[in-house]
Structure 1
Amino acid sequence: MYFGLMKQRYLAGKTIIVAGAGISGLSFALSLKKLWPTALEPPNVIVYERETNIAPNGREGYSLSIAGFGETGGLFAARDLGILDEIIKHATPGLGDEFTFNVWDNSWGEILKLKFKPAPGLSTAGIRIPRKVLRKVLVDALGQDHIRWGIGCVGAEKTEDGRMLVKLSGGNLPVGQSVAECDLLVVADGASSKIRSSLRPDDGLSYAGIMQKGGLAIFPNGIPKPVDKNWGMVISSGKGVALFVSPYDETSVAWGISYRSSTIEPPLDSIEDAQSMLDECRELGKEFSDPFQAIINATNPKDVSRLAARDKKPFNHDLTAGQVIFIGDSNHAVSPFSGYGASLALKDGWDLSSQLCHATSLSDAVKAYDAISVPRATKVLKESHSRINMGHATGMNYLFARAFLSIGGFILGIKDAISHA
């Protein structure tokens, strides 16, 4: 027992700053709170978040997929964190007990339905949940006392005594305070991480060649079929355009239409720009049958966004530059086409905390963490690029992709029929 407690003394009573109260940052802070030995003085964990504790505009229709069909899935971390039942309670309704992903043609004819089985120990193979709801569950479990809302971490540097000096910015900063010191900095400030740009200026995002425009469609009288109980992707007939759709709650649908573009279009900057974008979406998806046009017509220009699909490769840590660890999108950003970003974020937080609580030194903990997280994120990044290529194929590539999907659907259909015989 004494030796076990001795192992964590390198963090006992120390100060840990978490840059960002997103999914990965909250997962880490909550994981450390749950895993830390009760007989040992805990570290002082402070989470800084540049946003307020209110869902910002443009994220009302932002939903996430959390996997539970393999041990790398986020539902495993949710179970270990003690929040699994709560997030399942708030999961997107109407998708049934099975976790499936659909691929439709431009007339909403089913090309492929992927069905996933829950991994051992889980009740479901996956869920979809609004991001703001998942974050609230994590915040409630962690406790507000750990979070400093309205204060962002914008830079960091190593001090002479080996600690980290973190530069702060925001409207909620106490008068005269612009920096904070810590013994360990955990960076979880997202794909466009300011800390990463400060410490790793050459390690930026790469454009995946795809633009996506989307929003939240509201149907007070009920969501039209087949989107009421299904989610997935609609692909065009070789024109390189794809449509993602998913129920968001009982009366709304999150959607995004994507296409190849050699240039990155800027974010929306006005309500007029948003309305113009909706008109562009109508034209982009003109070959898609209803309910596509109904979805566009039911979308308020205030609830739309335009973004470029960007990602970056994961990296192993080198602590010689300072005691800094990057998790979630700040280390390995993935585009929405991965469908696994939230799972990576939840697992990163849990796995890093677990290694910190079991290793005899910070360097050993980080080495063990990298051995888990880097291969996992590399695999997800590769798979997301495959989905992009398949969903936006043109010419002969489209014919090959369509044949592959159709054959896959046929084989899976046979297997499903046999399993239910």
Structure 2
Amino acid sequence: MDSHFLAGKKIIIAGAGMSGLSFTLALRRLWPANLTPPDITIYERESNVVPAGREGYTLSLAGHDETGGLYAARDLGILDDIMKHAVQGLGNKFKFTMWNSSWSELLTRKFEPAPGLPTSGIRIARKNLRKVLTDAVGRERIISNTTCVDAERLSNGKMLVKLSGSHLPENESTAECDLLIIADGASSKFRASLRPNDTLQYTGIMQKGGLAIFPNGIPKPVDEKWGIILSSGKGVACFLSPYDETSVSWGLSYRAPTIEEPLKISSIEEAQSFLEPFQSILNATDPKFVSRLAARDKQAFSHDLSLGPAIFIGDSNHAVTPFSGYGASLAMKDGWDLATQLCSSQSLEEAVKAYDAISIPRATKVLKESRQRIDMSHATGFNYFLDRSLLSFGGFVLGIKDALGST
């Protein structure tokens, strides 16, 4: 290939999250050495400093098949650095657990690692995953405290991106590019502008969560396990995972017909059926930093380049709820797969068509499974007893398989 349609061209990436950073790193690794690389600028609305109380949460990176985030990390060359920050999954001990309200195990699920990977999955603090990606890309490539608020296609075929930021000079409130990569998250400003009818859908689940601090050590069983506690048919569940050696990330979820106002932590009645150590986890959480989240998602879509050379990746295209456990994996795989298709195709149209063929089925499958987990975790009445029986039977069968596999 003597030339390339992106050689020496200008690329703007809106958002320095998992998908935008993965794409940047992937394009650098895959770009042909004999060609002039594109000029890439990343705009990020947040600063590089994580303020107190916003340390974030842990997330999963799957490694049991090639769709997982650990596969992408390996291809991106950052797997070893990511594994240094894993809080679960070291030594191939990556098991998802479901408990009842009295902490009896209903189900423990373990996957086998995909070939070439050290574990079938990990949990990692979001801030640490983003730091590894940022360090690999180079902080100098990222313009922080700057938001991409809108874009339009110019008559010359390029995109004009409108910028907002307190540090921007007046004559730099817009920027032109040959390709716009939209990675600005589930509540994408670009999607609202370019695809106004493509909106997030409320799943009927509200979630409140925080970070519980235990200076003297995390209580059992959350010190070594992560998973979900289920209420006794009350439609309430709680996700828990170690965040680091002295803290636990938690998220209490329950059915709500509408998106409601937040409650103070002291008035969370949904969790009263959960026994210790859950009440201790609530008490160890600073009420000022309890977050509120409406669980929302949306279907993936194929691209329409008549809107301009703009490609949506990660949550900006196919938002999933925390119940998927796969949002970060999708984001990182999107970044890798899009860069792969751009580098190997003869035109933008060819690359985007090939990318959609990979990304859309993957995201659609994850969203469907996420909705199933929501229904199971928040079941009431007869559905609760049916799901409970299936969980018990599933746990029995999986226990036999694990026992046979260890002999």
SS of residue in 1 equivalent to 2:267? helix
Q: TM-score, normalised by structure 1?
A: 0.95
Aligned to 2:49: 54
Per-residue Cα deviation, 1:322-344 (whole angstroms, up to 9, x for no partner): 00000000000000000000000
Residue 277 (str. 1) matches residue 272 (str. 2): no
Contact 1:112 1:409 in 2 (8 A): yes
Q: Structure 1 residues 264, 56: CA separation in 2 closer, same or farther (over 3 Å shift)?
A: farther
Residue 159 (str. 1) matches residue 125 (str. 2): no
Using the TM superposition, give the Cα deviation of residue 5 of structure 1 relative to its aligned residue in structure 2, in angstroms: 3.9
Q: In the alignment, which of 76, 81, 84 is matched to residue 79 of structure 2?
A: 84
Aligned to 2:235: 240
Please identify, of 315-324 and 298-307, the stretch whose mean Cα deviation from structure 2 is larger.
298-307
SS of residue in 2 equivalent to 1:299? coil
Using the TM superposition, give the Cα deviation of residue 95 of structure 1 relative to its aligned residue in structure 2, in angstroms: 6.4
SS of residue in 1 equivalent to 2:109? strand
Q: In the alignment, which of 368, 388, 401 is matched to residue 382 of structure 1?
A: 368
Q: In the alignment, which of 382, 389, 392 is matched to residue 403 of structure 1?
A: 389
- Partner Cα distance (1:216, 1:57) in 2: 11
Q: Structure 1 residues 204, 56: CA separation in 2 closer, same or farther (over 3 Å shift)?
A: farther
Q: In the alignment, which of 265, 284, 308 is matched to residue 322 of structure 1?
A: 308
Aligned to 1:176: 171
Q: In the alignment, which of 258, 264, 285 is matched to residue 259 of structure 2?
A: 264
Aligned to 1:273: none
Residue 74 (str. 1) matches residue 74 (str. 2): no
- Partner Cα distance (2:52, 2:189) in 1: 21
Aligned to 2:180: 185
Structure 1: tracts of 5 or more residues without a match: 269-275
Contact 2:89 2:122 in 1 (8 A): no
Using the TM superposition, give the Cα deviation of residue 96 of structure 1 relative to its aligned residue in structure 2, in angstroms: 5.4
Q: Percent same amino acid among aligned pairs? A: 66
Contact 1:185 1:323 in 2 (8 A): yes
Structure 2: tracts of 5 or more residues without a match: none
- Partner Cα distance (1:143, 1:302) in 2: 33
Aligned to 2:222: 227
- Partner Cα distance (2:292, 2:369) in 1: 23
* Counterparts of residues 11-410 of structure 1 (less than 5 Å): 11-56=6-51, 59-92=54-87, 97-266=92-261, 277-281=264-268, 283-410=269-396
Using the TM superposition, give the Cα deviation of residue 215 of structure 1 relative to its aligned residue in structure 2, in angstroms: 0.2
- Partner Cα distance (1:56, 1:163) in 2: 37
Contact 2:89 2:121 in 1 (8 A): no
- Partner Cα distance (2:76, 2:350) in 1: 23
Q: TM-score, normalised by structure 2?
A: 0.98
Contact 2:88 2:94 in 1 (8 A): no
Q: Structure 1 residues 159, 151: CA separation in 2 closer, same or farther (over 3 Å shift)?
A: same
Q: Structure 1 residues 144, 10: CA separation in 2 closer, same or farther (over 3 Å shift)?
A: same
- Partner Cα distance (2:264, 2:100) in 1: 23
Contact 1:213 1:277 in 2 (8 A): no
Per-residue Cα deviation, 1:16-74 (whole angstroms, up to 9, x for no partner): 00000011000111111111112110000100001111225654141111000011000
SS of residue in 1 equivalent to 2:241? strand
Which residue identity does 1:317 align to in structure 2? H
Which residue identity does 1:209 align to in structure 2? G
Contact 2:13 2:183 in 1 (8 A): yes
- Partner Cα distance (2:212, 2:142) in 1: 33
- Partner Cα distance (1:351, 1:144) in 2: 23
Using the TM superposition, give the Cα deviation of residue 97 of structure 1 relative to its aligned residue in structure 2, in angstroms: 2.9
Q: Cα RMSD (Å) of the superposition?
A: 1.2
Contact 2:152 2:160 in 1 (8 A): yes
**Would you say how many aligned residue pairs link Structure 1 and Structure 2?**
407
Contact 2:56 2:127 in 1 (8 A): no
